[in-house]
Structure 1
Amino acid sequence: MAASRYKDKDAGVVLSFGGQWVSWSHTAAAYLAFLSALVVGCTLHYRKIVQNEWYGYPDEWFPSVSAAIGDRYPERSIFMLFIAITSGPRFALVGLWYLLTAKPGRALPKAVAIFGVVRTLTCGGWTYITSTDDHDWHDILMISYLVFTIPWTVGCIALSPLNAKAIRYRKYLATSFFGTLVPLVYFFIQHKVHRVPGAYTTYAFFEWSLILLDVGFDAVTALDFDTFEVVVRDVKGASKGVNGSSVPAAVLEKEKDKATGGVFSAGFRLGEALDIAADVYHGFVFWSTLTSVGLVVWFFPLWHMGISGYEVTILSSVAPALLAIKPLRSLVVKNQRLMHLLSLAGVAAYLVEEPVYRLFVVGFGVAMSCLSWAATLFSDSVQPARLEARILAWIIGLLMSSVAKFAWYTNNPIWPVMHAANGGWNGTGLVLGVLAALRFTRRAPLQVENPVENKSGSALLSALGIGGLFFALNSLLSDTSTMILWVWDGYPIRGPVSNVHAWYTIAAMTAGVVMGVSKPALVTTWTAYGVGCLGAALLTLYQQWFGYYGALTLAAYLMAISIPMISSASKKSPAVTFGLGFFIYNLMSLFHVWVVAYAFVPGGPLVREHTDWVMLTMMLLIGVGVFDLISQQAKSGFKNPDRRRPAHTGHRKYHVGALGVLNVLFLCANFLRFPTNDYKPYHGEDRVLTAGIWTIHFSLDNDMWSSEYRMRDLIKELEIDVVGLLESDLQRMIMGNRDTTQFLAEDLGMYVDYGPGPNKHTWGAALLSKFPILNSTHHLLPSPAGELAPAIHATLDVYGTAVDVFVFHSGQEEDVEDRRLQSEYLAQLMGSSTRPSILLSYLVTDPLQGNYNTYVSDVSGMHDVDDTDDDRWCEYILFKGLRRTGYARVSRSTITDTELQVAKFVVPATEADRASVWTVPKKLRDRRVAETEVPEGFKFPDMFKGEGVRGHQYHVFDEPRYYGF
C-alpha cells in the first residue's frame, strides 16, 4: 500500500493504492486458480483426468484445462474459489481500462469496455459450467469467450496509451495467443476426427498456453495503471492525453500505428460504419445475384437434356457494354440509385413461381447489377479513396457470400432457388438490400458528362484481365468447399475437409484483401503473378494437403490482385473494360462447363476433360491484366504504386472491421458445423443395414427450388443407413458451386464421401453412411466416346464386419461401347472383393438382358436384389455375402426425375453365418415371405403405404417385398 502523493488533497482518504495492483491481483488470482487445480488434480486423480473419450494413460499423459478444473473434487472447488476471487479484480481492470482510454467523442473505448464485460461473463460461464456438467454449453461459452477476445485484444492495442514497453508486450502476447489457435485446432481435429493417440495431450499443452498468454495479455495493464491511484485519481494525467514517457510521442504513435496497421488512427463514427456495412452488403447482393443466374439457367438444359435456348440469359452480365452509348451512360450515371434498386430484382425473383419467368427476372437483375456497378465504379474513379472503398465493398461482398453459403451448407440464403420452405431468408435479404442500396447511393456521382478516362493503359488488355479475374473469383472462391473438393481423394482422410478446414480459404481470402490494399507494390509484380500461377498449378495437378496449399496461395493472390486490377479498369471506358470483360467471363464460364458437358454441346469433344486448359487460360487472361498494370506504372514514371495510395484511407478501418466480423461469424458457423462422428444406424439391435440409391438431379426439384430439405426428410423417414447419390457434383458455376452432401450428412448424422471431385469431369457419385468409412477409392470407368462414368468403392465398418459398397453411374444410352466397357470394368472391380458387398447403381440396361448379365455374373459374384422386377432401366441394387430381407421402390414426388430404391440387409453376426450366407441356393435366397413373418426391425415404414405422404408412396409393387431364408 502506498500513501497518496497529494498529501494536501488526501483529507478523509483512509486507504489508497496504485492502480497497477488491480492488474497484479487479477493476474495472481487467475494463475493460482488454474495452476492449483492442475497440481491438485495431477496429485490426486492423475490417470482419471488424462483419460479422454478414446485413450488414457500412457497414450495421453497431460490433462486438458477442462479436465483439470472441472472433473473431480477437490480441484474443482479450489479452482472455483480462486476464479470467484479473480472476478472482482477482473471487472475492476475493465473499468480502469475504460477510464484510462475514454476521450470525448470516441466510441471505441465504450465498445471495448462492453466486449471486456461480456468476455468476463462468458469466462465465468465456461469455467463454472464444465464439460462434465453440460458439454454443449461449456463449448458454446468457451467459443464465445474466444470470439470476444478478438475485439478486446485488438481494441486494447488500438487504445494503448503511449507506453512503448506495454505496446511491445501486447503485440508479442496477442500474436502468440492467436498463433497458438492454429495448432490448437489442428491437434483437436487429430484427436476428435482422426482419433490419433497422444493428440489430445499435445492439444492440452496449447490449451494451457492460451490460458497463460491470455492472462499475461491482461497483466500488461499494470504498466499503464500506475497512472491511477485508488480511490480513483489520475496522478500522472495520462488519461488526459499527457505523455509521461521519455520516448517522444511521435515515435510512440508510429509504434502504435505499426501494431494496429494504422486502421485505428482515426476516430470511429457510426455513420461511416453504416456506410461501409451498406456497401459490403450491396456487394454481397451483387455476388448473390451473379452466382444465381447460372443455377437458374442450368435448370432448363437439365430437363431438356441438351441446349434449351434459355442459356442466352447468361449474357445478361454484358450489360455494361451499353455504356458505350454516351447519352445512356449519362442517364445511368445520373440515376444510379434507381439502377441499383432495379438490380434487386435478382433477389425478389423468389416471389415468381413459374421457372421461366423467374429466370427472366433474375436475368434482368443481373443486367441491372452489372450495369449499375460498372457505372458507379467509373463515376467514382476520379476520387481514389472513394473508388477504393467501392472496390473493397465489392470484393468483401464476395467473401460475405462465401461465409453465408458456408452457414447455409453451400446454398446462398437469398438465391432465387431458395424460399422459406428450404431455409431461404429471401424476404429479409430483400429488405436489407433495399436499405443498403439507398445508403450506397446517397452520395452524388463524381463525374457524369465529361469523364476523365485513363489514357496510359489499354482498355482491351484490362477487359481481358477483368474477364479472367471475375471467372476465377466466381468459379473458385464463391464457395469455400470448391477447392477442397478439387483435392479430395477419399478415405482415410489425408487432406482438408469442407466442414472442418474451410476457414483456411476465408483466411487466405482475407489476407489477400489486406495485402492488396496495404502492399500494392508487392501485388502488381511478375513475381507475385508467378506465385499465383504456381498456386494454380498445384491446385490443378495435386491432391490432398499439397494441392490445397496451392489453392490457398491462389485464393490470396486473386483477392489481392482484384483491387489494383478493378481500380485500373474503372478508370477506362466501362463499356470495354466491364462490358467486354463480362463477355470474356461468360466465354470462360461456358468453357468451364463444356469440359464436362462435352457429350451434350456442339464442339464439346474438343475440350473434353481439359480443366487444365481452363486454368491455363484463366491465368493467362489475368496475366494480360497484370501486364497492363505494370505497363501503366512504367509509363507514368511510378515504379512503386505505394506512392499513389489514396490520401484519405479512413474507410480502411471499417473494411478491416468488416473482414474481422465476417471471419468471426464464419468461425461461429464452423463451430456449429463441427462433425461429431458418433453416428448410429437406425436398427443396430437387429444388425440391419438399409441401403438406397437415388439420382438426385443436381438438387433442383421440378419447380426449380433447391431440394435438400425434401431429400433429407425422405431419407430420414425411410431410415436409410447407407445411400448412394448420383448426379450429385454441383461444384461448378452453372450449378451454383454447391454441395448437397454436406447438408444431408450433417443433418442426418452420416459420414460422407463426395466421390470424384469437380476436376474429374463427371456428373458425380456420392456416398452417405451411418457406418464409419474405413477406406474409399474413386474410379473413372472407360468412356472413350461418351460422358465419364464415376464410381466409389468404399469399405464400411458395419457392426464390426467390413462391408464393401460400390456407388456407380453408367454412361448414356447412346454410347453402347462405353457401357459395355464400363460393365466389364465394374464386374472385375466387384469380383475383386471377397467381402460382403452392395452395389448402388445407375446401369442403363433392361433386367436380364445385355450388360445386366455382366454386372450380375460369376465374375462379379453379385446377385440382383429382385430379378423379377422387370420395370427397371436405370437404378439397380446388387449384393453378395449378406442376407437380403426387403426391397422397396418409393416414388419421387416432384423432388427429382428418378425414384428412390431401397433394400434391407442383415449382416451375419457369427463366423458360421458369414460363411453359410455365401452358399445359399438361389431358390432359397429368393424365397419371398409375408410382412407378418418379418421381425419389426426388418420392416419398412408404414407411412408410405397407400397414398403415402407428400407424394411419396411405395409403387410398382404397391408395397415393399420381403425375403427370408
Structure 2
Amino acid sequence: MASSRYKDKDAGVVLSFNGQWVSWSHTVAASLAFLSALIIGCALHYHKIVQNEWYGYPQEWFPSVSATIGDRYPERSIFMLFIAVTSGPRFALVGLWYLLTTKPGRTLPKAIAISGVLRTLTCGGWTYITSTDDHDWHDILMISYIILTIPWMTGCIALSPPNAKAIKYRKYLCGAFFGTLVPLVYFFIQHKVHRVAGAYTIYAFFEWSLIVLDVAFDAVTALDFDAFEVTIRDVKGASKGANESSVPAVVLEKEKENATGGVYSTGFRFGSAVDIAADVYHGYVFWSILTSLGVVVWYFPLWHMGISGYEAFIMTTVSPFFLAIEPVRSFVVKNQQVTHLLSLAGLVAYLVEDPVYRLFTVGFGLSMACISWVATLHSDSVQPARLEARILSLTIGLLMSSVAKFAWYTNNPIWPIMHAENGGWNATGLFLAVLAVMRFTRRAPLHGSVVAEKKSGSAFLASLSIGGLFFALHSLLSDTSTMILWVWDGYPIRGPVSNVHGWYTIAAMTAGLTIGVLRPALVTSWTAFGVGSIGAALLTLYHQWTGYYGALALTVYLMAISVPLIGNAAKKSPAVTFGFGFLIYNFMVLFHVWVVAYAFVPGGPLVREHTDWVMIATMILIGAGVFDLVSQQAAAQKVDAPRTVNTSHRKYHFGVLGALNFLFLVANFIRFPTNDYKPYHEKDRLFTAGIWTIHFSLDNDMWSSEYRMRDLIKELEVDVIGLLESDLQRIIMGNRDTTQFLAEDLGMYVDYGPGPNKHTWGAALLSKFPILNSTHHLLPSPAGELAPAIHATLDVYGTLVDVFVFHSGQEEDPEDRRLQTEYLSKLMGSSPRPSVLLSYLVTSPLEGNYNSYVSDVSGMRDVDKSDWDRWCEYILYKGLRRTGYARVSRGTITDTELQVAKFVVPSDAKETASLFAASEQERDRRVQEQAIPEGWRFPAKFRGDGVRGHRYHVFDEPRYYNF
C-alpha cells in the first residue's frame, strides 16, 4: 500500500494505491494460474497430459495449454481458482486504460474498451470450457479471443500515452504475438491433418508462447498506470496527454501512427465507413462479372467440341478503347451512375434461361463494367487520395471475391452459373450491388470529361503492365486454391491443401496491399520485382511447400505492385492504358488456354505445354510497368517535391481487410476437415466404384452442377469414384475445384490429380477409404492432348487396393492412344495388389486397344465384357470379387453417364489368390438380384423412370454376379 504524494489533497481518503498495482496483480495472478497448472500437471499426470489422439510419450513430451488446464484434477481446479482471481484485475485494467486514454469527442477509446471487455469474457470462456468439456465451443471462444486481440493490441499502441519505453515494448510484443500464430497453425495442421509425430509438442511451445506474450503485453500498462492513484485520481495528468519522456511527443505520435498504419490517426465517421464498404463491394462485383465471363464462354466450345464463334465475347473487356472518342468519354465520365448501373447486367444474367442470351447479357455487363471503372479511375486521378481509395476498393474487391469463393467451395455465389438450386445468392448480391453503385457514384466526378493526362512516362509501357497485372491477378489470385493445386503432387500429403491452408494466400494478399499502400517506393524497385520473379519461378518449377512459398512471395508482390501500376495507368490516356491493356490481358488469357487446348486451336502446337512461357510473359509485362515507374521516379527526384496524400480512407480500407480476413477464418473453421470417412457397407466388406466424365461441372443448361452430382453420388452409395474433365483451375473455367465440395460434403478423401500447370483436362479421385499413396502420370502423347492418370493405393478394410483413374487421348490420334495403352497396361500389370481401373478409353469393347487393357500384361478383367454399347467409359478389375455393375443415365448434368460397379474385398491372402486365379467362366456367372445379400444391391430408386432424370439404362436394371 502506498500513500499519496499529495498529502494536502488526501483528506478523507481511506485507501489509496498506485495504479500500476492493477497491472502487477493481473500479471502475477495470470502467471500463477498457468504456471501452477503446468507444474502440478507435469508432476502428477505427465504421461496423460502429453498424450494426444495420435501419439504419446516419448514422441510427444510437452503438454499443450488445453491439456494442462482442462484435463485433470487438481491442476484444473487450481488453475480456475487463479483465473477467477485474475478476472478482477483484468476488468480493472481495461477500465483504467479507458480512463487513461479517453478524451472528449474521441470514440476510439470506447471501442477499444469494449473489445477489451469482450476479450476478457471470451478468455473466461475458453479457460472454463476446456477442449475436454466441449471441443467446438472451446475452439470458437479461443478463436474469438485471438480475433479480439487484434483491435485490443493495435488500439493500445495507437492510444498509448507518449511513453517511449511502453510504445517500444507494445510494438515488439504485438508483433511477436501475431508472428507466433503462423508457426502455431502450421504445426497444428502437421499434427491434426498429417499426423506427424512430435508436431504437437512443437505446437504446444508456440501455444505457451502466446500465453506469455499476451500476459506480457498487458503487463506493459504498469509503465503508464503509475500516473494513476486509486482513489481513483490522476496524479500526473497523463489522461490529458502529459507524461515525462525524453522523446518529443510529436515523434511518439508519429511512431504510433506508423505502428498502426494510420488506421487510428483520425476520427471514425460512420458515413465514410459505409462509403468504403460500398466501394469494396462494387469492386467485388467487378471481379465477379470479369471472372464469370470465361465460364459462360467456355460452355459453347464444350458443346461444339471445338471453336464455336462465341469465344469472341472475351473481347468485351476492351470497351475502354471507346474512351478515345471525346463524346463517349464525356458521357461516361458525366454519367458514371448510369454506366455503373448498366454494368450490373452481368449479375442480372442469372435470370436469363437461354445460354446464348445469358452470354450476351454477361458480355454487355462486363463491357460496361470495364469502361465505367476506367472512367472513374481516370477522372479521379487528379486527386491522389481519391484515386488511391478507388484502387484499394478494386483490389480489395478481388480479395473479397476470393473469400466468397472459399466460403462457397470455389464458386462465386453471384455468378450467372449459380441460382438458388445450387447455392447461389444472386438476388441478394444484386440488391446489395445496386445500393453499392448508388453510394459509389454519389460524389460528382472531379472533372466533367477531359482530365489532364500525365505526360511523363509511357502510356504504352503502362498498358503492357495493366495487361500482365490483371491476367496475373485473375489467373492466380481469384481463388485461394489455384496455386495450391499448382504445387499439389498427391499422397502422402507433403504440401499445402486447399481447405486448410487457403488463408495463407489471403494473408499474403493482405500483406501485399498493405505494403503497396504504405511503402510504394519499396515495391516499385527492381529488387522487389526480382523477389516477385523468383517467387514466380519457384511456383512454376517446384512442388509442395517450396513451390507454395514462391507462390506466397509472388502474391505479396502482385498485390503490392497493383496499387502503383493501376495508379500510373489511370493518369495517362485511358483508351491506351486500359483499352490496349485489356487487349493484352485477352491475349494472355488465350495464351494460357492454348497451352492445354493446343489440339483444338490454330497454331496450338507452338505453345503446347508452355506454362513457363506464360509466366515469363506475365512478369515481362509487369516489368514494363516497373520500368516506366522507375524512370518517372528518377525524373521526379530532380524537379518535383513529394506530395502529401490524405490517408484518412486507409483506416476504413484496412478495417475491411481485417473483416474479410476474419470472415475467411470463420469459413476456414467451418470447413476444417472433420469427416469420419465411413464407407456405406462396411459390414459387408463391399465398396462401390464409379467413373464419371463431369464435363467441367457445367450442366446442359449452363448451371454449375456440383449439388446435382453430389446427390447422385450419395444416393448411389459410391465409395470410390474417378472424375474426368475435372480440372477447372483456369480462367475459362472460373478457377474452380468441384472436388472440394464433393469431398467435404460426402466425407471423402480427395486427390485432385495432375494440377493445372500439367496441361491436362483433369483426372480426380475421391474415396471413402484412406489414400495411402498416389502418383500422377502424364502418358505419352506425341501428337494430341496429354492423357492424365492417377495411380493410388487405398486402405480398404485393411487390404491394400490399387485404383487407377485414367483419361485416354482423343479418337483423332491413334498413335497416342496406342502408346498410352502400352504405358497404362504395364503400369497396371506392375501392381500385385487387387486393383480397379476407372477410365475413359476411347475404344470399342473387344476391339483394338481394348485387348491390351484387358490382357495378361495388365492382369485386368472387364467388369462386363458382354456390355457392347460402351465407347468411352470402362471399369476393369483384378483380385476382387465383383458382385454388381450398372449404368446410370446422366440426366442433364453432363454428356456422359455414370458407370458403377460393386466389389467385395478379400479378407486374407488365400482368398486374394483364389480371386486372381479364377476362370472367366467363374467370374462371369450372372444371377438374379434376389440371390445376393441385400447390402450388395444397387438402390431401387433408380429403376424404371428413376429420379431427377437418373435411371438404370442400357440393361434397364443392374447386373449381378455370383462369384
Structure 1 residue 6, shift from structure 2 partner:
4.5
For 1:561, give the aligned amino acid: I
Runs of 4+ in 1 over 6 A off after TM superposition: none
Per the alignment, residue 148 of structure 2 pairs with: 148
Per the alignment, residue 763 of structure 1 pairs with: 761
Question: What is the identity percentage for the equivalent residue pairs of Structure 1 and Structure 2?
Answer: 80
Q: How does 1:124-273 map to 2 (within 5 A)?
A: 124-273=124-273
Per the alignment, residue 616 of structure 1 pairs with: 616
Structure 1 residue 668, shift from structure 2 partner:
2.2
Give the distance between the partners of 2:642 and 2:311, measured in 1 at CA: 43
Deviation track 1:1-29 (CA, whole Å, cap 9, x = no partner) reads 23344545545443232222222222222
Give the distance between the partners of 2:632 and 2:179, measured in 1 at CA: 39
Q: Is the 8 A contact 1:693 1:900 kept in 2?
A: yes
Structure 1 residue 911, shift from structure 2 partner:
2.2
Deviation track 1:439-497 (CA, whole Å, cap 9, x = no partner) reads 11121111224420111122222111111111111111111111111111111122221
1:400 aligns with 2:400: yes
Per the alignment, residue 774 of structure 2 pairs with: 776
Pair 948,12 (structure 1): closer, same or farther in 2 beyond 3 Å: farther
Q: How does 1:235-314 map to 2 (within 5 A)?
A: 235-314=235-314
Give the distance between the partners of 2:693 and 2:642, measured in 1 at CA: 56
For 2:489, give the aligned amino acid: D
For 1:65, give the aligned amino acid: V
Per the alignment, residue 753 of structure 1 pairs with: 751
Per the alignment, residue 475 of structure 2 pairs with: 475
Give the distance between the partners of 1:500 and 1:638, measured in 2 at CA: 50
Partner SS for 2:131 = coil
Partner SS for 1:381 = helix
Larger mean CA deviation between 94-103 and 685-694 belongs to 94-103
Q: Is the 8 A contact 1:238 1:244 kept in 2?
A: no
Structure 1 residue 316, shift from structure 2 partner:
1.0
Structure 1 residue 556, shift from structure 2 partner:
1.5
Q: Is the 8 A contact 1:243 1:249 kept in 2?
A: no
Deviation track 1:583-619 (CA, whole Å, cap 9, x = no partner) reads 1111111111111111222222222212122112222
Give the distance between the partners of 1:193 and 1:335, measured in 2 at CA: 54
Partner SS for 1:839 = strand
Deviation track 1:922-946 (CA, whole Å, cap 9, x = no partner) reads 1111212222222232222222222
Q: How does 1:594-609 map to 2 (within 5 A)?
A: 594-609=594-609
Partner SS for 2:683 = helix
Per the alignment, residue 444 of structure 2 pairs with: 444
Larger mean CA deviation between 231-240 and 434-443 belongs to 231-240
Larger mean CA deviation between 930-939 and 484-493 belongs to 930-939
For 1:925, give the aligned amino acid: R
Deviation track 1:792-818 (CA, whole Å, cap 9, x = no partner) reads 011111122111100000111222221
Give the distance between the partners of 1:572 and 1:802, measured in 2 at CA: 64
Partner SS for 1:684 = coil
Q: Is the 8 A contact 2:330 2:450 kept in 1?
A: no
Structure 1 residue 30, shift from structure 2 partner:
1.6
Give the distance between the partners of 1:389 and 1:74, measured in 2 at CA: 56
Structure 1 residue 575, shift from structure 2 partner:
0.8
Structure 1 residue 293, shift from structure 2 partner:
0.6
Structure 1 residue 525, shift from structure 2 partner:
2.3
TM-score, scaled to structure 2: 0.98
Per the alignment, residue 498 of structure 2 pairs with: 498
Per the alignment, residue 542 of structure 1 pairs with: 542
Give the distance between the partners of 2:725 and 2:260, measured in 1 at CA: 49
Give the distance between the partners of 1:559 and 1:246, measured in 2 at CA: 39
Q: Is the 8 A contact 2:774 2:792 kept in 1?
A: yes
TM-score, scaled to structure 1: 0.97
Give the distance between the partners of 1:531 and 1:182, measured in 2 at CA: 21
Structure 1 residue 246, shift from structure 2 partner:
4.5
Deviation track 1:535-563 (CA, whole Å, cap 9, x = no partner) reads 22222222222222221222111111111
1:882 to 877, 880, 883: 880
For 1:37, give the aligned amino acid: A
Give the distance between the partners of 1:445 and 1:780, measured in 2 at CA: 55
Deviation track 1:229-280 (CA, whole Å, cap 9, x = no partner) reads 3343222221122234454312322332332233322222222222221111
Pair 30,817 (structure 1): closer, same or farther in 2 beyond 3 Å: same
Per the alignment, residue 115 of structure 1 pairs with: 115
Give the distance between the partners of 1:424 and 1:502, measured in 2 at CA: 22
Larger mean CA deviation between 598-607 and 239-248 belongs to 239-248
Per the alignment, residue 837 of structure 2 pairs with: 839
For 1:934, give the aligned amino acid: I
Larger mean CA deviation between 367-376 and 181-190 belongs to 181-190
1:804 to 802, 805, 813: 802
Partner SS for 2:430 = helix
1:921 to 900, 919, 922: 919
Per the alignment, residue 352 of structure 2 pairs with: 352
Give the distance between the partners of 1:949 and 1:664, measured in 2 at CA: 41
Per the alignment, residue 897 of structure 1 pairs with: 895
Give the distance between the partners of 1:242 and 1:486, measured in 2 at CA: 56
Pair 618,656 (structure 1): closer, same or farther in 2 beyond 3 Å: same
Q: How does 1:413-562 map to 2 (within 5 A)?
A: 413-562=413-562
Larger mean CA deviation between 909-918 and 286-295 belongs to 909-918
Give the distance between the partners of 2:732 and 2:160, measured in 1 at CA: 50
Give the distance between the partners of 2:216 and 2:335, measured in 1 at CA: 55
Per the alignment, residue 82 of structure 1 pairs with: 82
1:937 aligns with 2:939: no
Give the distance between the partners of 1:471 and 1:197, measured in 2 at CA: 42
Partner SS for 1:893 = coil
For 1:702, give the aligned amino acid: N
Structure 1 residue 638, shift from structure 2 partner:
5.0
1:731 aligns with 2:711: no
- Measured on the aligned residues, the alpha-carbon RMSD in Å equals 1.7
Structure 1 residue 374, shift from structure 2 partner:
0.5
For 1:146, give the aligned amino acid: I
For 1:746, give the aligned amino acid: E
Larger mean CA deviation between 937-946 and 484-493 belongs to 937-946
Per the alignment, residue 27 of structure 2 pairs with: 27
Q: Is the 8 A contact 1:496 1:544 kept in 2?
A: yes
Partner SS for 1:763 = coil
1:98 aligns with 2:95: no
Q: Is the 8 A contact 2:188 2:203 kept in 1?
A: yes
Q: Is the 8 A contact 2:334 2:449 kept in 1?
A: no
Aligned length: 963
Give the distance between the partners of 2:647 and 2:722, measured in 1 at CA: 53
Partner SS for 1:25 = helix
Pair 875,573 (structure 1): closer, same or farther in 2 beyond 3 Å: same
Give the distance between the partners of 1:569 and 1:254, measured in 2 at CA: 32
For 1:134, give the aligned amino acid: D
For 2:283, give the aligned amino acid: G
Q: Is the 8 A contact 2:941 2:947 kept in 1?
A: yes
Give the distance between the partners of 1:645 and 1:940, measured in 2 at CA: 74
Unaligned stretches of 5+ residues in structure 2: none
Structure 1 residue 646, shift from structure 2 partner:
4.3
Give the distance between the partners of 1:578 and 1:114, measured in 2 at CA: 46
Give the distance between the partners of 2:564 and 2:940, measured in 1 at CA: 63
Give the distance between the partners of 1:620 and 1:940, measured in 2 at CA: 57
Partner SS for 2:185 = helix
Give the distance between the partners of 1:691 and 1:13, measured in 2 at CA: 82
Give the distance between the partners of 1:871 and 1:418, measured in 2 at CA: 34
Larger mean CA deviation between 412-421 and 448-457 belongs to 448-457
Q: How does 1:556-635 map to 2 (within 5 A)?
A: 556-635=556-635
Q: How does 1:936-955 map to 2 (within 5 A)?
A: 936-955=934-953
Structure 1 residue 910, shift from structure 2 partner:
1.8
For 1:515, give the aligned amino acid: I
Larger mean CA deviation between 689-698 and 9-18 belongs to 9-18
Unaligned stretches of 5+ residues in structure 1: none
Larger mean CA deviation between 308-317 and 648-657 belongs to 648-657
Pair 666,7 (structure 1): closer, same or farther in 2 beyond 3 Å: same
Give the distance between the partners of 1:121 and 1:887, measured in 2 at CA: 58
